[in-house]
Amino acid sequence: MISTSLHDVLIADDEPLARSSIKRLLAKDPEVRVVGEAEDGLSALELVRKLRPHLLFLDVQMPGLTGVELLATLEPAHRPAVIFTTAYDEYALKAFELHAVDYLVKPYNDARFATALDRAKQRLSGRDVAALASHVEQVIAALHRQPAPAAPAPVPAHEPAAQRLVVKVSGDFHFVNLSDIRWIEGHGDYLKVHAASGSPLIRSTFKELQGRLDPTRFVRIHKSAMVNTDHVRRMRPALSGDYDLELNDGTQLRVSRLFKASLDRFL
């Protein structure tokens, strides 16, 4: 029987940073407790069957089994309430809205997360198990009719890459010209995009963002920094095998020796 005061939550996402972010946000709510984490679909399936969580934060795209395949594999009686997380608006948004299933499109802000969690708790507290099961069945059917999103592929040299980056900040969409981006800085769960037009802070990871950038121009130079090679002026040796990088606007950045080989291809 589902408790009205404490809800068990399972987090399934192949990104450690994404799982950490969800746990941090859940820690603010005394009515929920995290009972487990999974980094792939098969592990998530095993934990759902073992732990019987009330609520599942489920990444749509995971190795082993996708989120949709996982739900389709579970017996209806064992399916928890679900909040989907996805980086693919075009893949999931329409189906989720149509069938009233909660979802979070990465990167999402704290307020959007709180709204989704509150809706899920209201449904669980109402114990409308039949309605929850019906919603999950409908979204499984809808998503099975859509092709899964392909992994981002390197842009061929002869094919022009996207010229703008679209970032979502506090519910608003910002359009940033790639040529204006000088470098990108990691700040925990966020990335700061340093561009001529401003420096928006977005909730994302370097791995997620790299799939949306031109790999022939944007290169990781440090675990917490990525640079647009079009803006690089010079590089010189520093202490301990690292390097100092200078951009056209005078910005000084440290290049880790672990990432220097990637940068050498462009300089």
Q: What is the pLDDT of residues 61-82, one digit of tens each?
A: 888 888 878 887 887 777 888 8
Q: Flag whether pLDDT at 100 surpasses 70.
A: no
- Say which DSSP state 151 is in: P
Angle of CA points 225, 107, 10, to nearest 5°: 110
Helix (H, G, I), strand (E, B) or coil at 111: helix
At the top level of CATH, the class of 164-264 is mainly beta
Q: What is the pLDDT of residues 222-242, one digit of tens each?
A: 888 999 999 998 888 877 777
Q: Which residue has the higher pLDDT, 101 or 116?
A: 116
- The reported pLDDT for the residue numbered 152 is 45
- The reported pLDDT for the residue numbered 171 is 59
Distance CA 195, CA 177 (A): 8
Distance CA 157, CA 143 (A): 33
Count H helices and E strands in the chain, helices first: 8, 15
Number of Cβ atoms within 10 Å of the Cβ of 178 = 18
Q: What is the pLDDT of residues 13-30, one digit of tens each?
A: 988 989 999 999 999 999
**Averaged pLDDT for residues 110-124:** 87
CA dihedral over 200, 201, 206, 211, signed as positive or negative: negative
Query: Which residue type occupies 191?
Result: L
Q: Flag whether pLDDT at 254 surpasses 60.
A: yes
Select the highest-mean-pLDDT range: 170-174, 243-247, 248-252, 257-261: 248-252
pTM for the model stands at 0.49
Q: Does domain 7-144 have CATH number 3.40.50.2300?
A: yes
106: left (phi over 0), alpha (psi -120 to 50) or beta: beta
Residue carrying structure tokens 């949709």 = 68
Residues forming a β-bridge with 183: 194, 227
Q: Flag whether pLDDT at 195 surpasses 60.
A: yes
Q: What is the pLDDT of residues 147-188, one digit of tens each?
A: 544 444 444 443 344 567 776 666 566 678 888 999 999 887
Query: Which residue type occupies 208?
Result: E
Report the residue count for the chain.
267
Arithmetic mean of pLDDT over the chain: 77
Residue carrying structure tokens 């409908």 = 138
Structural domain spans, the chain? 7-144, 164-264
Distance CA 188, CA 146 (A): 34
Q: Flag whether pLDDT at 218 surpasses 80.
A: yes
